Amino acid sequence: MKYGDIGDRPYPPIPISPYPMKVFTVSQMVAAERAADAAGVSYAQMMESAGQAVAEAIMARYAVAGMRVLVLVGPGNNGGDGLVCGRYLAQAGADVAFYLSKQRNPATDANYAHIQQMGLFAVEAEFDQRFRVLRTRLSVSDLVVDALLGTGVTRPIGGELAKLMRQFAAGVEERRTTLRAHIQPRLVSLDFNAEGPQVVGQRRREGSMLPVVAVDCPSGLNCDTGELDALAVPADLTVTFAGPKRGHFIFPGAAACGELVVADIGIPAGLPVVQAVNVEMVTAVHAHSLLPPRPKDGHKGSFGKVLIAAGCDRYRGAPVLAAKGAFRAGAGLVALATPDVVRQTAVVALPEATYPPIAAQKVLPAEAAATLRPTLSHYDALLLGPGLGETAVEFLSTLLTAPHLPPLIVDADGLNGLAQLPDWPRLLPPDTVLTPHPAEMARLMGIPLADLLARDRVDVAREQAQAWGQIVLLKGAYTVVAAPDGRVTILPFANPALAVGGSGDVLSGLIVALLGQGVRPVDAAILSGYLHGAAGALYPGDTGLLASELADLIPQVIQSLKGNG
């Protein structure tokens, strides 16, 4: 069975988001809401839409009829969203109770008045001695909605709210412990084949025990920095509004969000303050729009002839993985310029490629670059770097002085080589795609890795793309792609299965293939990153994925995107 198949049924198409997604800072979100209100979409309307969306997300995942739900209600708009959400859940048949961290006045709070008119149970924290009501309600709840704080957290939680949060966390853990005790099997087989499915099923049930649903973000998450208060309770599902927030993709906070769902609450996408947001999240609909055409009367020359200059005796697999990625992304012709010691095995592993004649035994020296220079005009795109080894600097110095370089991507040892060349950005044609991981990025910037890791990855990638005049794809959990014009795109994938040797080589192969098919450099980087991450998501697990398997999953992702077009 192929990865991505479910029994005999094909893997379901990747869902397409209905609109391009902006990724907001908190101040940008506040400005967008203010502008929407001025444009006729009132705060009351947005709150109604937000609460209804959270309820719809819950109902899409859980059978809410008869479910006992506790909604934790904060004093601000986030609490108002929670009140609306609880009302919709109650109308759907859930047994809903509300726990208010602060008093609300039904005379001025229509949403609070509405739940009172419905006769729904609500208690205010100040009347709950020693949080007995909170703990009692948690002890019988099936789901908790966290609508305490929202996006406004900028400092540590303290005072009475800190006490409430401690009781919230303790009550959730106590309830989950009780539920786990009820599903412990009486009979335990020591035969793996007998117990395996049972254990998997048990873990799935444990994972869904007392799910916590966060409104906009888990309470205690700084939605600008990703900092997470020690009192925060991680969510199983987070429903955010209009667009994700920067902190949703910055660790440690990112790990506390669970599944992240974005809900449209009526803020017009054409508002100038929304259009001015220059950080976006790539979605399937965006990725689909970037796919190059595949005309039925096309031939191998129609789909790009690309050159990959890579490999040495120490890193013999890197060129093959890059070339495999290029073929899987639709390249018509792939040429591998590698030393003899690599070519001998590469031709067996990848007979589809061609191998330009160059005089090189174990590494690619400057002489090999000189041989390739006159041929560069024959190619539609060029990849330099994977596994070049110790001769990277001399090879790059010679090849990059060629008068006519095709669209270029530099990866791996190519980046390390660049970092050793003075004024290296001037050696590259504009809009070269650079694909560093954090350590390579630090070398290119000439700073300690610790300094780089202490900074916001979005800001780093943007600043360096502008300074260098190149496309920067900064790898990692939630990879970012930055263009020289200041635009940044975040990729929605954080998957430890992709943390395997050769994964980056496959990615660089995808990029060179798309460049060769005429895709703009920034779009080639975005689309390749999306295909790469989505292929990892098709793999059934978070460990054990081989880079070669990752490449083989790319056509499935492409077909899924096309199926949703």
What CATH number corresponds to the domain at position 423? Answer: 3.40.1190.20
In a domain, 8, yes or no: no
In a domain, 281, yes or no: no
Same domain, 214 and 363: no
Same domain, 265 and 319: no
In a domain, 434, yes or no: yes
Same domain, 268 and 365: no
Same domain, 56 and 143: yes
Same domain, 44 and 120: yes
In a domain, 519, yes or no: yes
Same domain, 484 and 440: yes
Same domain, 143 and 257: yes
The answer to whether 313 and 342 are in contact (CB under 8 A) is yes
Element (H, E) at 381: strand 381-384
Same domain, 369 and 245: no
Q: What is the CATH number of the domain that holds 126?
A: 3.40.50.10260
pLDDT value of position 299: 92
Point out which residues pair with 433 in neighbouring strands. 409, 471
Number of domains in the chain: 2
Element (H, E) at 128: none
How many whole angstroms separate alpha carbon 290 and alpha carbon 329?
A: 13
In a domain, 282, yes or no: no
In a domain, 9, yes or no: no
Same domain, 343 and 482: yes
Same domain, 215 and 321: no
pLDDT value of position 80: 97
Going from the C-alpha of 518 to that of each of 384, 405, 504, the distances in angstroms are 18, 15, 22
How many whole angstroms separate alpha carbon 269 and alpha carbon 107?
A: 34
In a domain, 10, yes or no: no
Same domain, 314 and 449: yes
Burial class of residue 238 (count of CB atoms within 10 Å of its CB; 0-12, 13-18, 19+): buried
Place of tokens 């002890």: 139
How far, rounded to the nearest angstrom, does the alpha carbon of residue 364 sit from its chain's CA centroid?
36
Same domain, 251 and 311: no
Domain coverage including residue 540: 287-293+303-563
The answer to whether 257 and 217 are in contact (CB under 8 A) is yes
Residues in the chain, pLDDT under 50: 1-18, 195, 197-207
pLDDT value of position 11: 34
In a domain, 459, yes or no: yes
